[in-house]
Amino acid sequence: MYTAHASLLETREAGSMAEKTELALDRAQVKKAVQALQAFLKTKSTPDSLFLDDTQPISLLFTLWKVPKVAQTIRIPLPHGQRTDTDEVCLFTRDEPNMTSEQTQRFYKKLLEVKEVKNVTEIIPYKVLKTEYKPYEAKRRLLGNFDMFISDDRIRRLLPSHIGKHFYERKKEPLCVNLQSKHLARDIQRVIQGTNLKVNNKGCCCTARVAHSGMTVDEVTENIEATVQTVVAKMRMKGPVIKLIHLKSQSSVALPIYTSDLSHYEMLHSKAKSPKTPKKKGAKKQKKNKTEDKQQTDVTTEGEKKVEEEDEEEIPQLVPIATPSKKPKLETPSKKKQKQLEKAPKSAAAKKGKKSPSKVTGGKAGKTKRKVPKVK
């Protein structure tokens, strides 16, 4: 299953590469641009720079048709080295077990001598990087002392937290190398003399260093052609990718060497519109089907409602039957109880109630006789 999946991916990549490798540069136009740029750089050079062999980098500026959805880093091997022999390269290595930092430096120096690697100028173990280059000033000094940094791929995930953001801002972040490779000299040479193109998903422009001002016109043109072909082949975008290509240096104007036709623009619009046209008919059919379904559902719901209403009318409602409440019989007091009630003393309120009508009528019964004591 894995081999089948891998073969499918390879065929897809090959097909996409075949579609994208149609971009063809005008070699004469590229040569004219290189000659004009080198002539401009010679006029800007000073006697001191010629004496010190100070060369300026030459870069390609790519303008894409669309902003990429995903960021990508493309490694580009060049037929001619784009760095001079005076460029200083620093190598970050891992800490070997049961060895001090000095012993690891000696170990990797011997390894590079055996593999005949001559481009590396200094080796820094990971422990030394953590301790000696921890301060901010030490990191800035390390960044300015070297032109390029490479690292062992076994410690590549540990470096960003120790080197800082300034390495990435100046585009000098370490490139990974497999130090256990059998062809170590070839791999390091490819990494040092090759170039990288960082495709960002925040814009449609990206640059890649291709050559320097000390190279010949033919060498620069060959590097440009190789760079363009690899970028077009490895870009993770469908259809036409590159819109414009310019050649420039740090202090010069961008010289155009490639401009895409408007046919690419028409292709993009046709591809954007083509998938929508068949969907409209299908959408109309789907809308019709949806309306019919809605009508059917409405009819069914209305029929169900009617049936429910009929069912509700047929079923009588159950009402509880109220039982007649029996009035309690008044108990007639017996003769003995009546006599007791008559003999019982009346309350003060009852007496007052009886006295009140006598006062109103003014009868003699209400008057009381004063007793006068007798005198003997």
How confident is the model over 51-62, as pLDDT tens digits?
Answer: 455 788 899 999
pTM (2 d.p.)? 0.61
State the pLDDT at residue 91.
94
Among 143-157, 176-190, 250-264, the least confident range: 250-264
Order of all β-strands in the sheet with 205-212: 205-212, 57-64, 242-249, 255-259
Token reading at 248: 């420039």
% of residues, the chain, pLDDT over 70: 61
User: pLDDT tens digit string along 24-53?
Assistant: 888 999 999 999 999 998 888 766 554 455
Cα distances (Å, whole numbers) of residue 210 to 105, 173, 222, 243: 32, 18, 10, 19
Rounded to 5°, the CA angle 220-248-71 comes to 95
CA distance 90 to 127: 15
